[in-house]
Amino acid sequence: MTRPESPPTWLLPSGFEDVLPARTEALEYCRRALLDLYAQWGYHQVIPPLVEHLESLLTGSAADLDLQTWKLLDQDSGRLVGLRSDMTPQMARIDAQTSSAKELRRLAYAGTVLRARPDLLGGSRAPFQIGAELFGVDGPEGDLEVLSLMVESLIHCAVPNLLLDIGHVGISQALADAAGLEGALRADLLQHVERKAWPDVRAWLREHHCATELSADFDVLSRLHGEFDVLEQARQRLGHHPAVCAALDALHFVWGALRVRYPDLAIQCDLSEIHGHRYHTGLLFSLFGPQRGEALASGGRYDDIGAAFGRRRAATGFSLDLKPLLRDFPATERARQIWAPAGTDELLWQSIQEHRRAGYAVLQDLVSQEVPDQQTLRARGFDAVLIREQAGWKIRQLDS
């Protein structure tokens, strides 16, 4: 019996990949452009650690992130630690530890996160996540700023035909509260709503002897998706719940402002959408590109997450994975390349450094001082050569 062959040593684990030069240059260009954009809006970059104590990483969102988090035993302390699968809990911890109770705080971040399982079949388990979080603003003005910055992010990454989907977890939660539900029962009902299993919702309400009026409200909720007029329909049908009215006011404010700021942005809503409701507390939003499969960027309000770190703070933010955006990203403009001959001549070195400081990419031939023919230089991506003249080293452009 022959033994099965071992996989090649160069084969990477499923969900991991090398990012080769062209994509790396595009990724770095987008990363730098977005962080510069966020800085212009007052968001200061922080770099959280890749590893934290497990309970810190899973605070407020354990049901959503637990299965995504790699878990390790810290040999130093004997405690379980995790490799971050999302940076939002880290931002909440940083804010709680370093800000005053009433301080408005804007934080940005960029870096690799690690997922125990990919979000999609065949997807990456090492997304390059970038995002922004706003702390200390209770009202929809904060949601509007974060949403606007999310839209600007994808515009900066040259994504056309954007579609924004918005919702509010407070609407479903208000209906669950109207049933007088708490704890596990409330969570069970909301899990059915999150799955949009409406027959199961109706059966669950009957089984738990909830009022017929409440079942009718959930039936209405299941049909509240579409464009701007859905907000008025929701107010007419569910306006007898004060918390629903408050949620609709926030959606109306944000939606109206976005229509003025981005007239070409397609916007729709699904008022029953409550993904991540275990830690989200208000607006939810996702931004889609032309193919409109998985969201390219998403976020929402999560006011309660900081309580576990000793300070409950109003918070809203978004994040995106840069890697999928690079598939259709236009090639970045490369620096003009100059060929330089081998040698340690001081004037040659000074000329090479001078042109590098001027923004050129100067590649010195480490073997030969003989200038290759122009066809060879062009094939290797060069635009010019450094040659020695009586007055010193000068650039000679290649023939076009």
**What average pLDDT does the segment 342-365 reach?**
95
Q: Report which of residues 328 and 150 the model is more confident about.
A: 150
> What is the per-residue pLDDT across 76-93, written as a single tens digit (0 to 9) for each?
999 999 999 999 989 989
Q: Determine the pLDDT at residue 337.
A: 95
pLDDT digits (tens, 9 = 90+) for 295-314: 999 999 988 777 777 778 89
pLDDT > 90? residue 265: yes
Lookup result for tokens 């810290």: 74
Q: In the chain, what is the straight-line distance between the N-terminal and C-terminal CA atoms, in Å?
A: 64
Judged against a pLDDT cut of 90, whether residue 171 lies above it is answered with yes
- Note the pLDDT of residue 310: 75
| Residue 277 banded pLDDT, cuts 50, 70, 90 | low
pLDDT for res 224: 95
What is the band of 65 on the pLDDT scale with cuts at 50, 70, 90? confident
- Quote the pLDDT of residue 63: 54
Q: What is the mean pLDDT of residues 154-172?
A: 93
pLDDT band at 61 (very low <50, low <70, confident <90, very high): low
Per DSSP, which regions of 44-140 are E strands?
Answer: 44-45, 51-53, 70-73, 80-83, 105-112, 128-135
Per-residue pLDDT tens over the stretch 205-226: 888 888 889 899 999 999 999 9
Mean pLDDT of 16-26: 88
pLDDT at 222: 94
Range name among 58-72, 349-363, 380-394 with the lowest pLDDT average: 58-72
Stated pTM of the model: 0.88
Judge residue 11's burial from the number of C-beta atoms within 10 Å of its C-beta, 0-12 exposed, 13-18 middle, 19 or more buried. Answer: exposed
Residue 182 phi, psi dihedral angles, 5° rounding = -140, 165
Query: Which residues are within 8 A (CB) of 268 and not within 5 positions of it... i.e. 6 or more apart?
Result: 163, 164, 165, 166, 225, 226, 227
Q: What is the mean pLDDT of residues 151-180?
A: 92
Q: Is the pLDDT of residue 3 over 70?
A: no
